[in-house]
Each structure stands twice: as structure tokens, then as C-alpha cells.
Structure 1
Amino acid sequence: MRNARFLWELISYRPASASCRTLFMLACYGERIVFGLAIQAFFNTLPQHTQMTPELFVLFLPWLIAIAVRLIVVNFGTIGAVRFEFSAQALLQHNLFKHILQRPGFQALPDSVGNTISSFRDDTAIVVELLSHLGETCALIIYTSVVFIILLRVNVLITLLVFLPLCCIVVLARQAQKGLEKYRRASRTATSNVTGAIGEIFGAVQAIQVAGAEQHVVAHFHTLNAQRRASMVKDRMLSGALDALFGNVGDIGTALILVLAALSLTAGQIRPGDLVIFLTYLAIVSDFFTDIGSLLAQQTQARISFERMTNVIHGMPDHQLVAHHALHIHDKVNEESAPPAVPQPVVVPLQQLVVRDLCYRYPETGRGIAGINICIQGGTLTVITGRIGAGKTTLLHTLLGLVTADAGEITWNERPVADAAAFFIPQRSAYTAQVPHLFSDTLRENILLGLPEHEHTNDLSTAIHTAVLDHDIAALEHGLDTRIGVRGVKLSGGQIQRVAAARMLVRQPALIVCDDLSSALDIETEQLLWDRLRTSRTQTCIAISHRRSVLQRADQIIVLKQGQVEAAGSLEQLLTTSQEMQRIWQGSE
């Protein structure tokens, strides 16, 4: 019932366009009905004439009119049908993407990237194919019903003896759907595994080469493909068997008609035109049974696709998957039609940021942070340090709303922050992760990331200077317009970190948050970067680091141990009072 509701919501999104496929298929089938009646009348009348006369051909005039109507309806109906299919798939993709962007950053994807891409590309297409098939099937049901009535009036016995066995075949094939669903689910999972592996391999080429693991990776990829091949073969074999069964329905029906018609013709119970109309209509009536079998298989596919897509929007009501939104996909694209810029938050200079009893535990491991209490004054540098696994990155993610806190309170200038994910955004704050992500575009676009350059020319120059990128950009062949490759593969690790820093700084945030920003920099560049970052004391900075040059610049150091604050204070105080800080300091030599 849930899947039926989803389909109905998609149909009601563009009801006029959704009906186009049914309408133009009705026009096609209507023309076949008129043709069948015309040819029946022709062959029944033909024995009464000794030669061909014009009145015999007049019998085909309604058919010619039906052809003209069909051409007109199909022409306009095809346009509407294509628009509906495009709109329905775009709506599903829009809702999936919208939900992902609304979730906390590090909880956006409940599944692997490969599975998510497969849902965007394949699952949405499967649902749209089912919708198209439904439109055709509705027209075919109407056609078959009309044909059934016409054939009953011609000969009840032949009609029933032809239709009933075909119905039995459909019922038997329906029982095979459970097995088909099992194989279809396995094949979709195997395909997602292969897609995900391809993405991971291409994203870690350098790591694979450094480790000398090429043969192992290729062997693993062969294993995944072998599993996919086995699953796909089972799926295709059962699907092929069902298709063969339904594909022979027409031949079975034709054989029955010929046998029964031969007996009836001998007894004088059927005329030549009646035999012809049976054979004419059966060609498409048999398509009805084939179509029903195919529809049942597609329904199984769509059920699995809906399950996979609802997993992508995990945590939201299922109906959000098919919620109606204006997509503007038929509008002309120009500067005037571009969506309005996202309103920037009103930035109040940070005077004090307070965190009380902040907690977050990873559901899989139970590890995380608990009872975090810190106070950060505006214009200061606060360094969070600790050993590996102490919870440093988790603290930043929870503070910024990249994961949803289990408990705790955050205040900005004594005002509670209700939704950290919505609050800590540029220009209020900016964040650079431990492993920054760059895009396969120019250096300029990676820094601006959508900001209009004409409004941020000075900010761009300042950000590049502060991030110590001046000489690097000058050395590049095309400067800021240099394309940096997939994930910045043409840049060094230190350059990637500084490009990410420039992207953060160009937004002029009141709060800068960075996770081990200078880990890939040489000592001279690192010192210059931090000197320039701290030139302006109007910006507040929270940084994760264990490097001495950063710890020495800190106004406050937060020492974490096993997910809790072990100590807090200045470097001089902590080196005297905190054993944990002493170990970290000695280990940073």
C-alpha cells in the first residue's frame, strides 16, 4: 500500500502529463479496434459480392479516420509523456538530494556512496519506468475489456476457451514473483557493491600504488564482479523464463483459436470475418498477458527501489520522498531566472562561545565525547589537543552540528543555539576538515565555491595571501584558472590544505574552525600561515593540533582524554599541572 501511495503522489504531481501516455496508447489501441471491426465487416460481406466494389472499401473509412486521430494524439501525447517521466524522476532526485543536504554533514549518507549514487541513477529510473508501464497497462486493460466484449458477441465459447487458460498462466507466473524478488534484491546489492568499489578505487589510486596493492585490489574487484555476475545470471534466467512463458501466450491462443474455429466453421457457427477478427485482436490481447507479467516483475523492482530510496532519507517521514516541489525544469535558464541568492545570516561579532555538557556517542561503537564544558572568548585562539582517539574531531563535529549531539547546550554571546547545523554556517563560521575535499575544477572555483567573484575580489586576494598561496599560484601555468584534477590530485598535500584554508577565509567568518590545518606544511610555511591568521584579532579560532608552534600561540588549550576534558588553560599552566599535556608536549618533539 505504501508503494501504491508513492506512485499516486508521483502521478498527482503532473496529472495532465501523467495521463498522456494512457491517452496516446488508447488512441493506438482504438485504431486497432476500428480496424478489427472494419476487416470483420469486409470479410463477412465479401462472399456476397462477385467482384470488388467501392462499397467494400468504404468499410475501411472509419479506420482511416481512426489513423488520423491516432497520429494527432500520439504526437502531442508523446511530448506530455516524456515531460512527465522527466519531471517524476527529477522530483525523486530533488527530494533525495534535498534531504542529504539538510542532514548533519557527517551523517548525510546512511549508506555507501556507491549505493547512494545507484539510488539516484538506477532506482529513480526504475520507478519512472514502472509509471510509464502503468500508463500503457491502463490503456491495454481498457482495450482488452472492449475486445473481450466484442469477441463474446461473436462467439462466447471460443472467447472463454482462449481467455481462461491465458489467465491461468498469469496466476502461475505470479507465484514466481517471490523468487524473482529475492534474485532482484541480490543483483541490486551486488551492483551497488561494484559501483562503490569503483568509486573507492579511483579515489585512492595513490594509496594503492604506494602500498603496492594493485594485484590485491584487482583481485578483490574481480571477486565483486563474479558475485555480481552470479546474482545477475540468476535474476536474468528467471526473468527470461517468465518472459518466454508470457511471450508464447499469443502463440498458444492462436493455436486454440484455429482449432476451435476449424470446428466451428465446419458446423457453420462462425463466419470468415469472425475468424479474422479473433486473430486480429489476439495479437494485442496476448500482449496484455505478457504486459501483466512484465508489470509484476517491474513492481518487484520498484518495491526494492523504494526501499533503497527511503533508506537514503533515513530519519525523515517516508512521504518526503515524493513531496511536491516546484522544479522549474521547463523554464528558460538565464541570469534573470536564476534562483535568488541564499540570504546570509546576520553576523554578530563573537564575544563568548560556551559549551555545556556536550555529549555524542557513535551508535556503532559507543565511543565519543561526554560532559564537555568549555568557554571560548572572542578574538582568541583555542587549541584542542589530545592523543589519537581522544575525541578531538568528534568534539568539533558535534559543536558545528555535523553530527547531532545526544545532549548539551551551546550558547553564542549568551544566546542558545537551537540548531547547530543551521547556525554554524558562513559568514558566522567556517570549517576546514582534517582531509579537505577539493573538486575537479579550477583553483578559483574551489576557493569561491559559488561566491560571486565581483563581490569578493578583495576578499579573494586577502584569503590567498593569508593562506600563503601567493607564490604557489604564481608558479601555476594558468594561475587561479588552473584545473586541479579530481580531488586536487595536481596539488601537494600542503597546497590542498592551504586552498581549503583560503576557501574558509574568503567567507570572512567570525569563527574559524580547523582540524589539524598545518599537518602537511613545512615549519616555515606553517609559522607564516599562523602568523597571518592571527594578524586579525577580530576572528576567533578553534584548532585541533599537537604541533608546538601552534600550542605556543594558543590563548587557551583544551586537553581531551577518552572523550572528556582532562585539563584546560594556558600552555605554561598545563605543562606544570597536567601529566597528559606533558606527554603530548614531549611526543610533539
Structure 2
Amino acid sequence: MSDTQPQQAPGQSPTSGPEAAALMTGAQVYARLLRYIRPFLGYFAISLLGYIIFAVTTPATAAWLGWTIDQIEANNADARIISPILCVLIVLARGVGGFLGHYSLEHTANHVVHKLRCEVLDQLLNVPIAYYDRNTIGRLVSKVTYDVMQIKGAATNAITVVLREGLTVIGLLAWLFWVNWRLSLVFLLVAPCMALIVHMATKRYRRYSRQMQDSMGDVTQIANESIKGQKVIRTFNAGEYVSERFLRSSERNRRQNMKMVVTEATATPLIQLIVAMAMAILIWLALAPEFLGGASAGEVVTFLTLAGMLSKPLRQLSGVNAIIQRGISAASSIFELLDNERERDTGTHTAGRVKGLVEFDQLQFAYESAKPVLNGITLRVEPGTTVALVGRSGSGKSTLVNMLPRFYDYQQGEIRLDGVPITEYALNNLRQQMAMVTQDVVLFEGSVAENIAYGLGEEVTLEKVQQAARNAHADEFIQKLPGGYDAQVGDGGGLLSGGQRQRLAIARAFLKDSPVLILDEATSALDTESEQHIQQALAELIRGRTTFVIAHRLSTIENADLIVVMDQGRIVESGTHKELLALDKHYARLHRMQFSESGLMNPLDSDSESQASESAG
């Protein structure tokens, strides 16, 4: 449980990377997205070839139709055989070209999406912890799911339409100019009008796409909270409140979608109207004797068919802009995440197994520069020593222990492990020296054995897992589970009790066997029997390790080698249980309050803690 709620990465202003991604133009974002295609240029070339074949068959169909009409008028008997064969060959070529284009592009796009997903998850695993403090889980999940799928649309559907229909338009226009270049100029005259409509629609598309992503993140967040907190929701009869919140977020998302639909539904018919007007002018001119007066019936049919075929690809090209802009907006959101600064890992020092000497030297830290959370912390912890941190919520206890594995980086002072500043350790090596057991146990989908051995690699044997479970007093309940160590724990360990989850976390720490141990309220909110089991397990776990214990129940830390009392980010007193009682100050008053006849078993979790601290001051 955190003592304070971080607001910003420690000592870090917003990096230029995410800002730069947010300020990139649509073309720049799309160009960056297309760079992911480079490893698959061979498949992209096959796709391009396929769509060229597909595009050629469209004007070829018009030419075949005109030629067939001319052969009928000329009573060419051979045309009876040649024309059907040409018809089948054109359709066959169209099918082969469409297959090559679609399959190759889908192959490329799915690899791009796979790579992006992996990069996003890898980045989420490497950004500073403070990044999660500033972003909701729903928005981050939305990036991996919704945003990536929008990119897939821009990388597959949009490119498919652009290549296939774009090449078709080029082929049709080229043939039209070949047949009669003067009539074909009509289409060039309407191009500026079409470009203006597309430009105006593009601005709206991108703005609404960003709003859609934000609202989708809210929808995902509320849904995620509703599923995880369904017991609390039902206990407090908050179903109606949650439904109203979800209704508002979903309604906002619906409105943004409808704005996008309105823009798309307006821009596409306008472009179609302009094309139709150009077609009407073209037909009116084509029927004039001076333009096609000397042409055969087949040539007239070919020309009008070519002009008529332009409508469909132009209509599809006008609609693809919405898909592209949604993809660009989604890509911009993902690139903002990918451009965030990762955890600083510039250390090169590695150690096999440290002794466990921990030194805090004038440590200063603030989530916000104006509000220091740790202020001048100086403390020396000898190897194998158990140190208990006591103080009211917000005094900086959890923040202090979170400094050890470098979840946050301090601004001033220094922390040394075996005499070496922790910033000089390679990050993986530093965290290899530490194990942590917290109140909120995190279990992952999988078996009991997989959760105990989580992250430790395949070299961990079942015998070692079972030994760790026995040390944690977990083997007795594991053996009773259906499947034993192969039993599934459920989502977040939902199939286990709180005490069972806690013992699995302790078994995980046993198996890791790190010389430095952090226990952050590891026994709070448990029943008496479970707490006894866990206290026995913890007593074995801390033996021979440098241990930091945060506990609100003072009875659980009376045997600690050193008790440190913190208040407002400072150490106000320290010593053994007997020494602090003899001082008759902060710790003594808190101890009397907790064990007084009033029955306050945990004053540090209540308003009385603040009163006690104030009176102790």
C-alpha cells in the first residue's frame, strides 16, 4: 500500500519524445508507421504486383466489351470463341491478382500489428513506475487492443483500397486519355474540388479519432474496474452508480463515433456528386458528333464504360480517408507511449550475492518538487538485520522501501548496497538481490507451481517449488487442492483465500532466496489463524536476510532489531522496542494507544492515528 499517491515521475519533466509524437503531422506519423513494413518489402512487392494485375483487368473489361460489340457488327465468326475465352482469362487474372494482393498485404499487416503489440508491451514493462501513476489501466489496455486494431485497419484495409482502387483509377484514366484526351480533361477539372473536400474531412477525422480513443479508454477503464470490483459494487449497492458512469462514457464514445460517421457520410456523397457531375458533362460531350462522331459503336461503349467504371473506385478512395485518419490517430497515441523514456539503467556493477548492508545517506525524494515525501533520511542497516518502519499513512514508509529496487529514483542523497550506490548496479542485478511481499498479493493466471516459480526461469525444479511451499507453510493447503501444485489459481488468485494467496507470495520469496527482503504490510487484514501461519513463515523467511518490515500492528514488530518511526518524511526516532518504550515519545504513545482498553487494534489505519501523532509531537 503506497503511503502517498505519486503525481509525476520523480525529478522528470515530460520528455521530448512523447511531445514530439503528439506534434507530428499525419503524414509524418503514417510515414513512421510504414517503416514497420520495411522487413516485409518482398511481400509488399508481391501485393503491389497483384493489385497491378487486378487494376489492369478493369479497363481490360471495358476494352473487351467494346471489342466484342465491334466483332458482332463485323460478323467475325472467330469472336464467338475468342470473346468467351478472353472473358474467363480476364476474370481469372483479376482473381489471381486480388488474391496475391490481399494475402501478401494481410501477411505484412499482421506482422506489423504483431510487432507493434510486442513493442507496446515491452515498453509498458520498461517505462518507470511513475508512468502507471499518471495513466489508468483502461487507457493502457485500450492502446494494446483498440488502438492497435485501428492501426491494422490503416495498414491493411486502407492500403488495400489505396493500391487496388488507386491503381484502377490510374489505369482507367490512362485508357480514357488514350481513347480521347480532350474529353478526359473533364476529370482533371474536378480534382481541386475533391481535394478540398478531402482536406476538410481529414481535419475532422483526426480530431474525432483522438476523442474516440480517449472515450474508449474511459469505457475500458470503467469496465475493468466493474469486473475487478464487483464484490464491492454489490456490497455497497453501487450497481446503478457504475451503470450511470459507464452509460456516460459509452454515450460520449457513441457521440464521437457519430461525428465521425456524419463527416464520412457527408464527404463521400459530396465527392460522388462531383464525380457524377463530371460524368454527366463527359457523357453530354461524348454524344456530341464532333467528339466521337467517327468512332465505332464498340469504341463509344468502351469510352463510356471506362468513364462509368471510375465511379466505384473513386467512391471507395473517398471513404478510405476515415480509416487512414483513425489509424494515424491511433499510431500517434502508440508512438507517444513508445517515445516515453524508459527506466534509467546505466549501472554496470554486478554482484553474485550481496551481504545485505544497506545505507541511506541524506535521502531526498519528492513526487512533486514542492512536496517532499522523504526529507534527509539517514539510516544504516547491517546485514541480516530486521528493521521495522512505523508511522502514520503518508509518512513515507512505502516510498522509502520502493527506493531500494529503484521503482523511483531519488533526487538527492544516496542509497548504498554493500557500499556501492544502487544507481551503479545493473538494474536486473539489483532487483535480483531483493524479494518483496506486499499486502496486495499479485497472482497470475496459471497453476500454483507456476506462480511460486514466477519469473525464475525453467531451471526451477518441482522439488524446489515444493520445498519453498513447505517453508512458507503453504504445502498443507496446496496438497488439498484439486490437482495439487497443478491446480489453477484463477484470475488474480480468485480461487484461493487471502491467507493462501499470501503464503504463495511468501513461498515465491523463499524460492527467490534474495539477501534483501521487503515486507510491506504482509500480514494486515488477515484472520488470526492465517496470520499465525504467515507469521511462522515470515519468521523463517527473514532469518539471515536484511529485512524491511512495514506493519501497522505493533505487536508484530516488537522483536525487530531496529524500529524506525517516521513522520512527514523524516525519521523522528529509532531503537529497539524496549528502548523506544523507555523514551516515552512517539512510539510509546502509539503503543499505549494500540493496546489500551479502548480496543483500538490498529490506530495507524484510523483518524486516531493522526491525533496520536499530533499529541506525540
**TM tier relative to shorter chain:** 0.7 to 0.9
Aligned partner letter, 1:233: M
1:447 corresponds to: 452
Matched position secondary structure for 1:102: coil
1:312 corresponds to: 337
Cα shift readout 1:23-51 (whole Å, capped 9, x = no counterpart): 2111101122333333333334543x1x2
**How far off is 1:385 after superposition?**
1.5
In structure 1, stretches of 5+ residues that fail to align are 318-344
2:77 corresponds to: 53
1:13 corresponds to: 39
Aligned: 1:125 with 2:125: no
Distance 1:70 1:146, change over 3 A: closer
**How far off is 1:192 after superposition?**
1.6
2:18 corresponds to: none
Of the three residues 537, 556, 560, the one matched with 2:566 is 560
**How far off is 1:91 after superposition?**
1.2
Matched position secondary structure for 2:439: coil
Query: What does residue range 427-446 of structure 1 map to in structure 2 within 5 Å?
Result: 427-446=432-451
In structure 2, stretches of 5+ residues that fail to align are 1-26, 343-349, 596-617
Query: What does residue range 55-70 of structure 1 map to in structure 2 within 5 Å?
Result: 55=79, 58=82, 67-70=91-94
- Whether the 8 Å CA contact 1:431–1:512 is kept in 2: the answer is yes
Of the three residues 325, 330, 341, the one matched with 1:300 is 325
Aligned: 1:483 with 2:507: no
1:360 corresponds to: 365
**How far off is 1:270 after superposition?**
4.3
Distance 1:26 1:480, change over 3 A: same
Q: Give the number of the structure with larger relative contact order, counting CA–CA contacts within 8 Å between residues 6 or more apart.
A: 2
How many residue pairs match? The answer is 560
Distance 1:269 1:118, change over 3 A: farther
Distance 1:365 1:83, change over 3 A: farther
Of the three residues 581, 585, 588, the one matched with 2:591 is 585
Aligned partner letter, 1:574: L
Looking at structure 2, the residues matched to 293 and 73 of structure 1 have their Cα atoms a distance apart, in angstroms, of: 23
Matched position secondary structure for 1:506: helix
Aligned partner letter, 1:573: E
Of the three residues 471, 474, 484, the one matched with 1:469 is 474
Cα shift readout 1:527-557 (whole Å, capped 9, x = no counterpart): 4533443346332221211323332121112
2:553 corresponds to: 547
**How far off is 1:300 after superposition?**
2.2
Looking at structure 1, the residues matched to 194 and 233 of structure 2 have their Cα atoms a distance apart, in angstroms, of: 54
- Whether the 8 Å CA contact 2:387–2:549 is kept in 1: the answer is yes
Query: What does residue range 85-96 of structure 1 map to in structure 2 within 5 Å?
Result: 85-96=109-120
Of the three residues 125, 128, 134, the one matched with 1:101 is 125
- Whether the 8 Å CA contact 2:128–2:407 is kept in 1: the answer is yes
Cα shift readout 1:203-227 (whole Å, capped 9, x = no counterpart): 1111212222222222222222222
Looking at structure 1, the residues matched to 278 and 84 of structure 2 have their Cα atoms a distance apart, in angstroms, of: 27
1:341 corresponds to: none
Aligned: 1:186 with 2:196: no
Distance 1:117 1:247, change over 3 A: farther
Looking at structure 2, the residues matched to 217 and 347 of structure 1 have their Cα atoms a distance apart, in angstroms, of: 51
**How far off is 1:278 after superposition?**
2.9
Matched position secondary structure for 1:245: helix
Looking at structure 2, the residues matched to 88 and 249 of structure 1 have their Cα atoms a distance apart, in angstroms, of: 36
- Whether the 8 Å CA contact 2:186–2:278 is kept in 1: the answer is no
Tell me whether 115-124 or 408-417 shows the greater mean CA deviation.
Answer: 408-417
Of the three residues 453, 458, 461, the one matched with 1:456 is 461
Looking at structure 1, the residues matched to 133 and 537 of structure 2 have their Cα atoms a distance apart, in angstroms, of: 36
Aligned: 1:199 with 2:224: yes
Distance 1:105 1:173, change over 3 A: closer
Distance 1:198 1:432, change over 3 A: same
Matched position secondary structure for 2:185: helix
Aligned: 1:2 with 2:28: yes
Give the TM-score of the pair, scaled to structure 1.
Answer: 0.86
- Whether the 8 Å CA contact 1:384–1:558 is kept in 2: the answer is yes
Looking at structure 2, the residues matched to 109 and 5 of structure 1 have their Cα atoms a distance apart, in angstroms, of: 31
**How far off is 1:519 after superposition?**
0.6
Aligned: 1:24 with 2:50: yes
Looking at structure 1, the residues matched to 294 and 34 of structure 2 have their Cα atoms a distance apart, in angstroms, of: 47
Cα shift readout 1:409-458 (whole Å, capped 9, x = no counterpart): 22221122226782466642111233122223332322222546773333
Aligned partner letter, 1:238: T
Matched position secondary structure for 1:280: helix
Aligned partner letter, 2:476: H
Cα shift readout 1:339-359 (whole Å, capped 9, x = no counterpart): xxxxxx753232412222333
Looking at structure 2, the residues matched to 170 and 89 of structure 1 have their Cα atoms a distance apart, in angstroms, of: 30
Aligned: 1:422 with 2:427: yes
Looking at structure 2, the residues matched to 512 and 524 of structure 1 have their Cα atoms a distance apart, in angstroms, of: 24
Distance 1:277 1:421, change over 3 A: farther
2:177 corresponds to: 152
Matched position secondary structure for 1:483: coil
**How far off is 1:487 after superposition?**
1.7
Matched position secondary structure for 2:310: helix
Looking at structure 2, the residues matched to 236 and 363 of structure 1 have their Cα atoms a distance apart, in angstroms, of: 42
Distance 1:239 1:438, change over 3 A: same
Aligned-residue CA RMSD (Å): 3.0
Aligned partner letter, 2:487: T
Matched position secondary structure for 1:22: helix
1:519 corresponds to: 524
- Whether the 8 Å CA contact 2:59–2:175 is kept in 1: the answer is no
**How far off is 1:561 after superposition?**
0.9
Of the three residues 386, 401, 405, the one matched with 1:396 is 401
**How far off is 1:62 after superposition?**
6.5
Aligned partner letter, 2:502: Q
Cα shift readout 1:191-249 (whole Å, capped 9, x = no counterpart): 22111100011111112122222222222222222222222222222222223334556
Looking at structure 2, the residues matched to 373 and 500 of structure 1 have their Cα atoms a distance apart, in angstroms, of: 30
Aligned partner letter, 1:552: E
Q: Percent of counterpart pairs with the same letter?
A: 21
Query: What does residue range 258-273 of structure 1 map to in structure 2 within 5 Å?
Result: 258-264=283-289, 268=293, 270-273=295-298
**How far off is 1:6 after superposition?**
0.9
- Whether the 8 Å CA contact 1:355–1:410 is kept in 2: the answer is yes
Give the TM-score of the pair, scaled to structure 2.
Answer: 0.82
Aligned: 1:172 with 2:178: no
- Whether the 8 Å CA contact 1:242–1:293 is kept in 2: the answer is yes
1:84 corresponds to: 108
Matched position secondary structure for 1:560: strand
Of the three residues 265, 273, 295, the one matched with 1:240 is 265
Distance 1:125 1:228, change over 3 A: closer
Matched position secondary structure for 1:191: helix
Looking at structure 1, the residues matched to 225 and 58 of structure 2 have their Cα atoms a distance apart, in angstroms, of: 53
Looking at structure 1, the residues matched to 584 and 103 of structure 2 have their Cα atoms a distance apart, in angstroms, of: 73
